[in-house]
């Protein structure tokens, strides 16, 4: 289990020996907060929550350069990859995952902002246990480095979850947790830029 971060807290992705993490995985997960419904033939059925995790890549002037989401599974430079769309939020652990090769990120990119949006307009008051976590894929066992559990909810359709920022050659991870509204990452790009 990695370090548990609160909203606004940051963590350097430079190890104690001075080396930087090279390959990280951003896992995002959530569960339905809507009570299970009784089925027609008895039993219960959990309401499926279809949220979409995305990454928006920004330059130092807060201008979006690229986006990785369910319709574009890799950044132009290939450094950020989405592993695929989860349509239900079912199951334990990460619901959607984005892989980041930090060493391969274009020099023009200074920030990678991770957002969750609801294409179907489901709102965050229907969601519980939302989190994002950073996993170090550059070492065997892929240990979790940090986790941020979202405390916010409400009638918004998007959430700016966290960001990776580069200063010089060093990267930091910051928990954000800012509500936004939008069906796609393009809809929340302005809200994401405001967190930089």
Mean pLDDT of 60-85: 94
Can you give the residue ranges of every domain in the chain? 3-34+45-193
CATH of 3-34+45-193, one of 2.60.40.10, 2.60.60.30, 3.40.50.300, 3.40.190.10: 2.60.60.30
Q: Which helix (H) or strand (E) holds 192?
A: helix 189-193
pLDDT digits (tens, 9 = 90+) for 100-117: 999 999 999 999 999 999
Whether the predicted pLDDT of 89 surpasses 50:
no
Mean pLDDT of 91-99: 82
In degrees, to the nearest 5, what angle opens at C-alpha 159 toward C-alphas 73 and 23?
45
Whether the predicted pLDDT of 3 surpasses 70:
yes
Residue 7: strand, helix, or coil: coil
Contact 20, 138 (CB under 8 A): no
Arithmetic mean of pLDDT over the chain: 88
Residue 60 DSSP code? T
Q: Which helix (H) or strand (E) holds 193?
A: helix 189-193
Q: What tokens appear for 88 in the block? A: 């239900």
Tell me the CA distances in angstroms from 119 to 50, 101, 131, 145, 186, one per residue in order: 8, 27, 19, 30, 12
Lowest-confidence range among 3-12, 59-68, 122-131?
122-131
Contact 182, 193 (CB under 8 A): no
Looking up tokens 């370090």 gives 3
CA neighbours closer than 13 Å in the CB half-sphere of residue 38: 3
Residue 122: strand, helix, or coil: coil
Q: Where are the alpha helices (DSSP H) in the chain?
A: 189-193
pLDDT given for residue 119 in this prediction: 87
Mean pLDDT of 175-182: 95
């Amino acid at each position: 289990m990695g370090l548990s971060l609160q909203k606004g807290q940051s963590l350097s992705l430079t190890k104690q020996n001075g080396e930087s993490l090279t390959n990280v995985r951003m896992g995002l997960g959530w569960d339905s907060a809507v009570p299970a419904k009784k089925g027609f033939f008895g039993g219960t059925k959990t309401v499926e929550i279809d949220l979409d995790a995305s990454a928006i890549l920004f330059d130092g002037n807060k201008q979006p350069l690229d986006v990785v989401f369910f319709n574009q599974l890799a950044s132009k430079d290939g450094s950020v990859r989405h592993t695929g769309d989860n349509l239900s939020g079912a199951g334990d652990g990460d619901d959607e995952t984005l892989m980041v090769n930090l060493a391969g990120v274009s020099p023009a990119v200074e920030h990678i902002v991770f957002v969750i949006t609801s294409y179907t307009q489901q709102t965050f008051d229907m969601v519980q246990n939302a989190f994002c976590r950073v996993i170090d894929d550059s070492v065997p066992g892929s240990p979790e480095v940090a986790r941020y559990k979202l405390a916010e909810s409400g009638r918004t359709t998007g959430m700016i979850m966290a960001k990776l920022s580069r200063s010089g050659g060093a990267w930091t991870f910051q928990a954000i947790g800012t509500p936004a509204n939008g069906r796609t990452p393009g809809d929340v790009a302005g809200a994401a830029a405001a967190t930089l």
